[in-house]
Amino acid sequence: MPRARPRAAILILLASAVALTGCNKTMSSLTPGSSLNTASTTPVSLDALAELGEKWQSNPKDVNKGLAYANGLESVGQKDEALTVYQKLYESAPGNAKVAGLYGRKLVSAGKADRAVPILEAAERGDTDWRIMSALGTAYDQQGLYQKAREQYAKALAADPQNLAVMNNLAMSYALEGNLKQAETELRAADALPRSKSEPRIRQNLALVVGLQGRFDEATKLAQQDLPPEQVQENMAYLKKMLSQPNTWQQISAGGNQG
Protein backbone atom coordinates (compact mmCIF):
# COMPACT_ATOMS: atom_id res chain seq x y z
CA MET A 1 0.00 0.00 0.00
CA PRO A 2 1.48 3.42 -0.95
CA ARG A 3 2.39 5.71 1.90
CA ALA A 4 -0.04 8.57 2.52
CA ARG A 5 1.08 12.08 1.65
CA PRO A 6 2.07 14.27 4.61
CA ARG A 7 -0.66 16.88 4.09
CA ALA A 8 -3.14 15.14 6.39
CA ALA A 9 -0.66 15.03 9.27
CA ILE A 10 0.40 18.63 8.65
CA LEU A 11 -3.23 19.78 8.62
CA ILE A 12 -3.90 18.03 11.92
CA LEU A 13 -0.86 19.60 13.55
CA LEU A 14 -1.49 23.09 12.22
CA ALA A 15 -5.18 22.98 13.06
CA SER A 16 -4.67 21.53 16.51
CA ALA A 17 -1.65 23.47 17.81
CA VAL A 18 -3.80 26.46 18.70
CA ALA A 19 -1.63 27.65 21.56
CA LEU A 20 1.54 27.46 19.51
CA THR A 21 0.22 29.32 16.48
CA GLY A 22 -1.75 31.83 18.51
CA CYS A 23 -4.68 31.47 16.17
CA ASN A 24 -7.86 29.44 15.94
CA LYS A 25 -7.60 28.82 12.22
CA THR A 26 -5.71 26.19 10.26
CA MET A 27 -3.18 28.79 9.17
CA SER A 28 -2.27 31.64 11.45
CA SER A 29 -3.29 34.82 9.70
CA LEU A 30 -1.93 38.28 10.43
CA THR A 31 -4.22 40.03 7.99
CA PRO A 32 -5.63 43.20 9.59
CA GLY A 33 -9.12 44.47 9.01
CA SER A 34 -10.10 46.16 5.79
CA SER A 35 -9.92 49.92 5.49
CA LEU A 36 -13.68 49.75 5.19
CA ASN A 37 -14.00 48.03 8.52
CA THR A 38 -12.75 50.62 11.01
CA ALA A 39 -15.14 50.25 13.93
CA SER A 40 -13.78 49.28 17.33
CA THR A 41 -13.60 45.59 18.23
CA THR A 42 -14.40 46.39 21.87
CA PRO A 43 -17.59 44.50 22.78
CA VAL A 44 -20.64 46.74 22.56
CA SER A 45 -23.55 46.64 24.95
CA LEU A 46 -26.74 44.88 23.92
CA ASP A 47 -28.56 48.22 23.84
CA ALA A 48 -25.91 49.72 21.60
CA LEU A 49 -26.00 46.66 19.36
CA ALA A 50 -29.77 46.90 19.03
CA GLU A 51 -29.43 50.56 18.13
CA LEU A 52 -26.85 49.79 15.45
CA GLY A 53 -29.17 47.16 14.03
CA GLU A 54 -32.11 49.56 13.91
CA LYS A 55 -30.05 52.22 12.16
CA TRP A 56 -28.94 49.74 9.51
CA GLN A 57 -32.41 48.27 9.05
CA SER A 58 -33.70 51.78 8.33
CA ASN A 59 -31.43 51.82 5.28
CA PRO A 60 -29.99 48.34 4.49
CA LYS A 61 -27.98 49.72 1.56
CA ASP A 62 -26.00 52.06 3.78
CA VAL A 63 -22.55 50.43 3.81
CA ASN A 64 -21.19 52.38 6.77
CA LYS A 65 -24.19 51.56 8.96
CA GLY A 66 -24.07 47.94 7.89
CA LEU A 67 -20.37 47.65 8.68
CA ALA A 68 -20.88 49.27 12.07
CA TYR A 69 -23.59 46.74 12.86
CA ALA A 70 -21.51 43.82 11.61
CA ASN A 71 -18.58 44.99 13.74
CA GLY A 72 -20.87 45.16 16.74
CA LEU A 73 -22.08 41.64 16.13
CA GLU A 74 -18.53 40.34 15.77
CA SER A 75 -17.48 42.11 18.97
CA VAL A 76 -19.97 40.04 20.97
CA GLY A 77 -19.14 36.79 19.20
CA GLN A 78 -22.11 36.66 16.82
CA LYS A 79 -19.98 35.92 13.77
CA ASP A 80 -22.65 34.02 11.82
CA GLU A 81 -25.04 36.93 12.19
CA ALA A 82 -22.31 39.35 11.15
CA LEU A 83 -21.58 37.25 8.07
CA THR A 84 -25.25 37.54 7.11
CA VAL A 85 -24.97 41.33 7.30
CA TYR A 86 -21.86 41.28 5.10
CA GLN A 87 -23.71 39.10 2.62
CA LYS A 88 -26.65 41.51 2.44
CA LEU A 89 -24.30 44.45 1.95
CA TYR A 90 -22.56 42.57 -0.85
CA GLU A 91 -25.87 41.72 -2.52
CA SER A 92 -27.05 45.33 -2.31
CA ALA A 93 -23.81 46.67 -3.82
CA PRO A 94 -22.61 44.02 -6.32
CA GLY A 95 -20.34 46.50 -8.11
CA ASN A 96 -18.49 47.60 -4.99
CA ALA A 97 -15.13 45.81 -5.05
CA LYS A 98 -14.28 46.92 -1.52
CA VAL A 99 -17.47 45.43 -0.08
CA ALA A 100 -17.02 42.29 -2.18
CA GLY A 101 -13.44 41.95 -0.99
CA LEU A 102 -14.42 42.36 2.64
CA TYR A 103 -17.26 39.85 2.34
CA GLY A 104 -14.98 37.38 0.59
CA ARG A 105 -12.37 37.74 3.31
CA LYS A 106 -14.97 37.12 6.00
CA LEU A 107 -16.03 33.96 4.15
CA VAL A 108 -12.42 32.79 4.08
CA SER A 109 -12.10 33.41 7.82
CA ALA A 110 -15.23 31.31 8.30
CA GLY A 111 -13.68 28.46 6.28
CA LYS A 112 -16.11 28.88 3.38
CA ALA A 113 -13.55 28.91 0.58
CA ASP A 114 -15.97 27.52 -2.00
CA ARG A 115 -18.20 30.57 -1.60
CA ALA A 116 -15.32 33.00 -1.18
CA VAL A 117 -13.32 32.15 -4.29
CA PRO A 118 -15.68 33.43 -7.02
CA ILE A 119 -16.39 36.60 -5.03
CA LEU A 120 -12.73 37.30 -4.40
CA GLU A 121 -11.74 36.46 -7.97
CA ALA A 122 -14.22 39.05 -9.24
CA ALA A 123 -13.11 41.59 -6.63
CA GLU A 124 -9.44 41.01 -7.40
CA ARG A 125 -10.02 41.87 -11.06
CA GLY A 126 -11.41 45.27 -10.07
CA ASP A 127 -9.12 46.19 -7.19
CA THR A 128 -5.41 46.20 -6.38
CA ASP A 129 -5.86 45.80 -2.61
CA TRP A 130 -3.28 43.33 -1.29
CA ARG A 131 -5.82 42.14 1.27
CA ILE A 132 -8.06 40.79 -1.47
CA MET A 133 -5.16 39.04 -3.18
CA SER A 134 -3.96 37.53 0.07
CA ALA A 135 -7.46 36.40 1.04
CA LEU A 136 -7.88 34.76 -2.35
CA GLY A 137 -4.58 32.99 -1.80
CA THR A 138 -5.81 31.72 1.56
CA ALA A 139 -9.03 30.50 -0.05
CA TYR A 140 -7.02 28.59 -2.65
CA ASP A 141 -4.88 27.10 0.14
CA GLN A 142 -8.04 25.92 1.89
CA GLN A 143 -8.90 24.09 -1.33
CA GLY A 144 -5.43 22.58 -1.67
CA LEU A 145 -4.60 24.74 -4.71
CA TYR A 146 -1.18 25.74 -3.42
CA GLN A 147 0.39 26.98 -6.64
CA LYS A 148 -2.58 29.25 -7.35
CA ALA A 149 -2.42 30.46 -3.76
CA ARG A 150 1.23 31.41 -4.06
CA GLU A 151 0.57 33.28 -7.28
CA GLN A 152 -1.85 35.46 -5.34
CA TYR A 153 0.64 35.98 -2.52
CA ALA A 154 3.21 37.06 -5.12
CA LYS A 155 0.75 39.63 -6.46
CA ALA A 156 0.02 40.85 -2.95
CA LEU A 157 3.73 41.24 -2.19
CA ALA A 158 4.22 43.13 -5.44
CA ALA A 159 1.50 45.53 -4.32
CA ASP A 160 2.83 45.76 -0.75
CA PRO A 161 6.43 44.48 -0.48
CA GLN A 162 7.56 42.83 2.77
CA ASN A 163 4.02 42.67 4.09
CA LEU A 164 4.26 40.44 7.15
CA ALA A 165 0.71 39.12 6.80
CA VAL A 166 1.33 37.96 3.25
CA MET A 167 4.78 36.58 4.02
CA ASN A 168 3.28 34.59 6.86
CA ASN A 169 0.48 33.23 4.68
CA LEU A 170 2.97 32.30 1.97
CA ALA A 171 5.04 30.36 4.49
CA MET A 172 2.05 28.53 5.88
CA SER A 173 0.98 27.64 2.35
CA TYR A 174 4.27 25.77 1.95
CA ALA A 175 3.73 24.13 5.35
CA LEU A 176 0.28 22.93 4.38
CA GLU A 177 1.70 21.46 1.20
CA GLY A 178 4.32 19.63 3.26
CA ASN A 179 7.33 21.69 2.21
CA LEU A 180 8.52 22.53 5.72
CA LYS A 181 12.01 23.65 4.65
CA GLN A 182 10.64 26.31 2.33
CA ALA A 183 8.09 27.33 4.95
CA GLU A 184 10.96 27.84 7.39
CA THR A 185 12.89 29.89 4.84
CA GLU A 186 9.94 32.20 4.26
CA LEU A 187 9.23 32.63 7.98
CA ARG A 188 12.87 33.39 8.74
CA ALA A 189 12.81 36.08 6.06
CA ALA A 190 9.75 37.60 7.70
CA ASP A 191 11.23 37.31 11.19
CA ALA A 192 14.38 39.15 10.02
CA LEU A 193 12.36 42.29 9.31
CA PRO A 194 12.37 44.87 12.13
CA ARG A 195 8.58 45.08 12.13
CA SER A 196 8.32 41.39 13.01
CA LYS A 197 9.29 42.19 16.59
CA SER A 198 5.72 43.35 17.18
CA GLU A 199 4.23 40.22 15.56
CA PRO A 200 4.88 37.21 17.82
CA ARG A 201 2.80 34.97 15.57
CA ILE A 202 5.61 35.01 13.01
CA ARG A 203 7.98 33.51 15.57
CA GLN A 204 5.38 31.09 16.89
CA ASN A 205 4.67 29.80 13.39
CA LEU A 206 8.43 29.52 12.86
CA ALA A 207 8.67 27.56 16.11
CA LEU A 208 5.87 25.30 14.88
CA VAL A 209 7.55 24.63 11.52
CA VAL A 210 10.93 24.00 13.16
CA GLY A 211 9.30 21.70 15.70
CA LEU A 212 7.52 19.79 12.95
CA GLN A 213 10.99 18.99 11.58
CA GLY A 214 11.96 17.47 14.93
CA ARG A 215 14.30 20.27 16.06
CA PHE A 216 12.65 20.71 19.44
CA ASP A 217 15.46 22.55 21.25
CA GLU A 218 15.56 25.19 18.54
CA ALA A 219 11.77 25.41 18.45
CA THR A 220 11.69 25.85 22.21
CA LYS A 221 14.12 28.79 22.08
CA LEU A 222 12.00 30.46 19.41
CA ALA A 223 8.77 29.95 21.30
CA GLN A 224 10.27 31.22 24.57
CA GLN A 225 10.72 34.67 23.06
CA ASP A 226 7.00 35.35 23.43
CA LEU A 227 5.38 32.61 25.51
CA PRO A 228 5.69 31.68 29.20
CA PRO A 229 7.82 28.58 29.95
CA GLU A 230 4.83 26.47 30.99
CA GLN A 231 3.04 27.06 27.71
CA VAL A 232 6.18 26.37 25.69
CA GLN A 233 6.64 23.06 27.49
CA GLU A 234 3.04 22.10 26.78
CA ASN A 235 3.43 23.01 23.11
CA MET A 236 6.62 20.99 22.72
CA ALA A 237 5.10 18.02 24.52
CA TYR A 238 2.13 18.20 22.18
CA LEU A 239 4.32 18.25 19.07
CA LYS A 240 6.45 15.37 20.32
CA LYS A 241 3.36 13.31 21.03
CA MET A 242 1.91 14.01 17.59
CA LEU A 243 5.19 13.25 15.83
CA SER A 244 5.58 10.00 17.75
CA GLN A 245 2.44 8.58 16.16
CA PRO A 246 3.07 5.78 13.63
CA ASN A 247 4.38 7.11 10.29
CA THR A 248 3.64 10.75 11.12
CA TRP A 249 7.26 11.85 11.34
CA GLN A 250 8.27 9.87 8.26
CA GLN A 251 5.43 11.40 6.23
CA ILE A 252 6.32 14.91 7.32
CA SER A 253 10.01 14.37 6.60
CA ALA A 254 9.19 13.12 3.12
CA GLY A 255 6.93 16.08 2.50
CA GLY A 256 9.54 18.54 3.68
CA ASN A 257 11.95 17.26 1.04
CA GLN A 258 9.57 17.80 -1.82
CA GLY A 259 10.06 20.78 -4.13
Q: Does 215 reside within a domain?
A: yes
Residue 41 three-state SS: coil
**What angle separates helix 200-212 from helix 216-223, to the nearest 10 degrees?**
170
State the residue range of the domain holding 188. Answer: 163-250
pLDDT, one tens digit per residue, over 106-164 is: 999 888 999 999 999 998 887 788 999 999 999 999 999 999 999 999 999 999 999 99
H/E segment holding residue 86: helix 79-92
| pLDDT confidence of residue 146 | 94
For the chain, what is the domain count?
1
Q: Does 88 reside within a domain?
A: no
Answer yes or no: is pLDDT of 77 > 70. Answer: yes
Q: Does 21 reside within a domain?
A: no
Answer yes or no: is pLDDT of 256 > 50. Answer: no
Q: Does 214 reside within a domain?
A: yes
Q: Does 223 reside within a domain?
A: yes
pLDDT, one tens digit per residue, over 216-229 is: 999 999 999 999 99
| pLDDT confidence of residue 51 | 93
Which CATH number does the domain housing residue 215 bear?
1.25.40
| pLDDT confidence of residue 246 | 65
